[in-house]
Homo-oligomer: A and B are copies of this chain.
Amino acid sequence: MRDVAIIGVGMHRFGELWDMSLRDLFLDAALTAIEDAGVERVDAMVVGCMSSGLFTEQEHLASLCADVLGMGPIPSARVESACASGALAVRSAFLEVASGMHDVVLAAGVEKMTDVTGDLATAALASAADQDCEAFHGVTFPGLYAMIARAYMERYGASSEQLAAVAVKNHENGALNPNAHFRNRISIEAVLGSMMVADPLRVFDCSPVSDGAAAAILCPLDRARDIARKTPVRIAGVAAATDSLALYRRDDVTRLKAVEASAKAALAMAKRTPEDVSLAEVHDCFTIAEVCVTEEIGFFERGKGAEAAAANLTARGGRIPINASGGLKAKGHPVGATGVAQIIELVHQLRGEAGERQIRDARVGLAQNMGGSGGSSVVHVLERV
């Protein structure tokens, strides 16, 4: 298997982007990544998108993207794993390069979510849950994560204040990110005073519905310095794992076993431990998700994640900075784009280009992207070359 590097990244600012279509968003991110890499063309593409069908009535998306980019007839595949579609695209592009099938490969993630009414967006997102056993009966993602949060809080004595600390920290980081959907700082009081969505989760515990796109260019590591303009970043580890979609099929709803399995496998491939990681971007679709994920990766003991967030251990200057980009909570969550945007934050941090958000001595970054309520998880470990 060939070693693989990321040599260029680009994204469009996340947000409610009324004047940008799905294809506009993709094109902007892809061109920025191509420019950043300094390449003239790519040999193949992978596009991650959760549901261009339900959000915009457009399937066959990867061919459309290759065409608007002027890259046809190159191979272009769409991949989907709900909200982990972006990271799955990077993993698929990794395999294109690692196998020797293609040399310069574009991995993109895109989602246009705001061209439907609120109810339709919620219904489209609910298609990431088990349709027959969950969504059909009316439960939506805030409800599913609320069940996880309630069980976690009861078992470990975690408080709403501790969960709120996750949102406060991510808005603090997002305020420094020009590509973030929300750039306002918030307080614990603001979170606790915000509208209840699904008890115990309030609206400030939830990531927003966003439009956005993100892209990265991959190539063989041994050719990266010849091909690229900037310092390459190595993909040292990558792994995906799955779990049942439906919560009722799990032994323990506070556990995200796909996260544990994917993190363990990606770190093993990279020959690293959680202690080696300088910073991580993780899937904080809800505050409780960030807490559980940081435990599953092994940054904190089980039941200690909420406490750790409240003690600022996950802040930019803390023991393990989590979501320096602002995370899904503040940077926004155009579901198919999120996993690629996490990779982009790591690349900027490892290159030392993160400006006010820069983590000192960032050498090893981990990105964890999740589908639904943990039905899939994809983890990448990136390293400075």
Contact = CB atoms under 8 A, between A and B. Distances in A.
B243 A67 contact: yes
Nearest to A239: B75
Contacts of A99: 1, 95, 98-100
A207 B249 CA distance: 39
A62 B127 contact: no
Interface string A24-57: 0000000000000000000000000011011011
A296 to B, nearest CB: 12
Central interface residue in A1, A76, A99, A258, by most chain B CB within 10 Å? A99
Contact of A81 (B50, B58, B78, B96): B78
A81 B53 CA distance: 12
B77 A61 contact: no
Interface stretch (A350-358, A360-368, A370-378): A370-378
A40 B58 CA distance: 38
A119 to B, nearest CB: 14
A311 interface: no
A163 B247 CA distance: 52
Contacts of A127: 53, 57-60
A257 to B, nearest CB: 6
B59 A128 contact: yes
A240 B75 contact: yes
B101 A241 contact: no
Contacts of A75: 239-242
Given A95-B96, A98-B99, A60 B1 contact: no
Q: How many copies does the complex hold?
A: 2
A36 to B, nearest CB: 23
Contacts of A245: 60, 63-64, 67
Interface string A72-87: 1111111111100000
Interface stretch (A130-138, A210-218, A284-292): A130-138
B376 A60 contact: yes
Contacts of A108: none
Nearest to A130: B64
Contacts of A242: 62-63, 66-67, 72-76
A54 B51 CA distance: 9
A66 B375 CA distance: 10
Contacts of A59: 50-51, 54, 80, 82, 127-128
A317 to B, nearest CB: 34
Contacts of A131: 56-58
A159 interface: no
B73 A77 contact: no
Contacts of A240: 75-77
Interface in A112-145: 123-124, 126-132, 135
A176 interface: no
A231 interface: no
A78 B76 contact: no
Nearest to A74: B242
A21 interface: yes
Nearest to A246: B67
A244 interface: yes
Contacts of A343: none
Central interface residue in A63, A66, A78, A88, by most chain B CB within 10 Å? A63
Interface of A: 1, 21, 23, 50-51, 53-54, 56-64, 66-67, 72-82, 88, 91-92, 95-96, 98-101, 123-124, 126-132, 135, 239-245, 249, 257-258, 261, 371-372, 375-376
8 contacts: A51-B53, A53-B127, A59-B127, A60-B81, A63-B82, A63-B258, A73-B243, A95-B99
User: Lowest 3 CB-CB distances: which A-B pairs, in order?
Assistant: A99-B99, A75-B240, A60-B82
